[in-house]
Structure 1
């Protein structure tokens, strides 16, 4: 199976914002999580790979394809679910999917019917296939988005912020659907939701301000901060002073009181207790003080 290889990709917008700064990644088959805050450069990277945007420099290759040059060839093997996936509200899922299948080059009516029915079943939309898309919930629209992304049996699938705004039940349905796709395909999941990557991905990268801060296996990333995360319950009025003194990874409320997680090479004392880190701790430790380009295997 071919890997997607991104080498020294750069993009600066006309307003001076450096969206991508020499980004290099090797993405194998399976689920790959691209994690970063809003504005980190994730969507710019996704649009560039999806042939929708030009890069200033660098290279993207998939097998023998130069993705920045052979755009039509890439589009034949690509499934893409953008962050803002619009649907025609007064058309049924079945009719629109059939129409999109024609655009994808599935000209045989018999084959098209089989493909459309199979995808509606796969995305659990078959019972609602006659319903206008305007009446779909957010989760149903996202599942329709995956159905259209799978029309040409793609080798590379890109989904950009797919679970933002979904309720927990819809998110779980989406997780299950994505995990099935990732077995024989490259699926890039771009998100700012740590839970998405924790649930689904065996490989990941954390990106911020256009730079890759960390890449590798999520579990190994967690192991690398083992023994360095400490927790304490504090009063709300103390939070600002603690932020000045410590590297705070997270603050959550429990029964109205903030619980903070901090990163410390040695025991900080002062009532802090060592806790087992999770991927959210890794994420914030990189965002607030990461070293660009770190590999988890180091």
Structure 2
């Protein structure tokens, strides 16, 4: 029932999930099982992350495949799923002439919190959770981008849903707010199923028990961070060279990052073999594995 504490999360099962917009395939035959805890969705722009999240949030229907959330088969069980769901879209519109508190009170009423005392309590709780209490009296039209992002998170939490779908949750947040939000996400994930997309690999490493990687609508990987990192072990190198030497190194490789070093650069790269014999083996990270996978240096299913 709306307003009651989360019940420990839900299970999401997708099989052969696909979405096409005309001749464009945005998502291609995705198989995923997501359980309680925090599940991260990684991928470059245009990978299909938002399309997948919009399907999970019942905003879009898949073109083919099956999807069940908490045992409710979609699209038939759409209304039942929506009662379990909190959704933070990438683009979030607010009523500019309402205050933050008024806006949340309105959304709470739409979510079925009809008792005024219950609504006031929940609005107060979510304002505190997202650190907007001091700005609750201000018109939403005066909010910064980061504040509107926090308001979007607050409205998703009003009915205390066991299932949260969050698209790019840290976009627009300053460093302090960013860290505070990750702490909040970790706390919420103890009693819920949370699926969130991001392009920040460090956020996934810090919060997620499991993750998936998408590229061009295709699922490249689904599993734990440790499983993905294990696939790139023995293939990460620190290379010191001039910029010209780095560009001319033989063999297929993906450059993870480059920094100045003396007269040249120090590059962290993913490659099957020591690039030009100039590399020193390095301990792999999730970022290394992600870059290696989306660049094609690390093949799907390899390792």
- Length-normalised TM-score, structure 2: 0.90
Whether the 8 Å CA contact 1:198–1:279 is kept in 2: the answer is: yes
**3-state SS of 1:90 partner:** coil
Q: Answer yes or no: is 1:52 the counterpart of 2:42.
A: no
Q: Answer yes or no: is 1:247 the counterpart of 2:214.
A: no
Report the Cα offset of residue 266 of structure 1.
4.1
- Length-normalised TM-score, structure 1: 0.91
Match of 1:274 in 2: 281
Whether the 8 Å CA contact 2:149–2:172 is kept in 1: the answer is: no
Separation in 2 of the partners of 1:162 and 1:2?
Answer: 20
Deviates more, 1:83-92 or 1:230-239: 230-239
Match of 2:292 in 1: 285
Deviates more, 1:96-105 or 1:172-181: 172-181
Q: Kindly provide the CA deviation profile for residues 139-176 of structure 1, in whole angstroms up to 9, marking residues without a partner as x.
A: 32222111100112112101101223333222111111
Q: Answer yes or no: is 1:126 the counterpart of 2:162.
A: no
Q: Kindly provide the CA deviation profile for residues 175-205 of structure 1, in whole angstroms up to 9, marking residues without a partner as x.
A: 1111111111110011122122111111001
Which among 264, 268, 271 is matched to residue 271 of structure 2?
Answer: 264
Separation in 1 of the partners of 2:177 and 2:26?
Answer: 31
Whether the 8 Å CA contact 2:70–2:81 is kept in 1: the answer is: no
Q: Answer yes or no: is 1:90 the counterpart of 2:102.
A: no
Whether the 8 Å CA contact 1:6–1:24 is kept in 2: the answer is: yes
Report the Cα offset of residue 269 of structure 1.
5.2
Separation in 1 of the partners of 2:205 and 2:179?
Answer: 13
Q: Kindly provide the CA deviation profile for residues 250-289 of structure 1, in whole angstroms up to 9, marking residues without a partner as x.
A: 1322368543223334444532111111111111111112
Separation in 2 of the partners of 1:246 and 1:274?
Answer: 17
Q: How does 1:105-116 map to 2 (within 5 A)?
A: 105-116=112-123
Q: Kindly provide the CA deviation profile for residues 91-140 of structure 1, in whole angstroms up to 9, marking residues without a partner as x.
A: 21100000111111111111111111111112121122112223333332
Q: Kindly provide the CA deviation profile for residues 24-83 of structure 1, in whole angstroms up to 9, marking residues without a partner as x.
A: 100111110010001001111111111111211111112320132211111111100001
Q: Answer yes or no: is 1:26 the counterpart of 2:33.
A: yes
Separation in 2 of the partners of 1:239 and 1:59?
Answer: 46
Q: Answer yes or no: is 1:206 the counterpart of 2:217.
A: no
Q: CA 1:29–1:162 in 2, change beyond 3 Å: closer, same or farther?
A: same
Q: CA 1:255–1:174 in 2, change beyond 3 Å: closer, same or farther?
A: farther
**3-state SS of 2:164 partner:** strand
Whether the 8 Å CA contact 1:249–1:260 is kept in 2: the answer is: yes
The runs of 5 or more residues in structure 1 that have no matched partner are none
Match of 1:67 in 2: 74
- The alignment covers a number of residue pairs equal to 293
Separation in 2 of the partners of 1:120 and 1:149?
Answer: 12
The runs of 5 or more residues in structure 2 that have no matched partner are 1-8
**3-state SS of 1:245 partner:** coil
Q: CA 1:236–1:266 in 2, change beyond 3 Å: closer, same or farther?
A: closer
Q: CA 1:264–1:245 in 2, change beyond 3 Å: closer, same or farther?
A: closer
Q: Answer yes or no: is 1:3 the counterpart of 2:15.
A: no
**3-state SS of 1:262 partner:** strand
Separation in 2 of the partners of 1:137 and 1:201?
Answer: 28
Whether the 8 Å CA contact 2:257–2:269 is kept in 1: the answer is: no
Q: Answer yes or no: is 1:160 the counterpart of 2:167.
A: yes
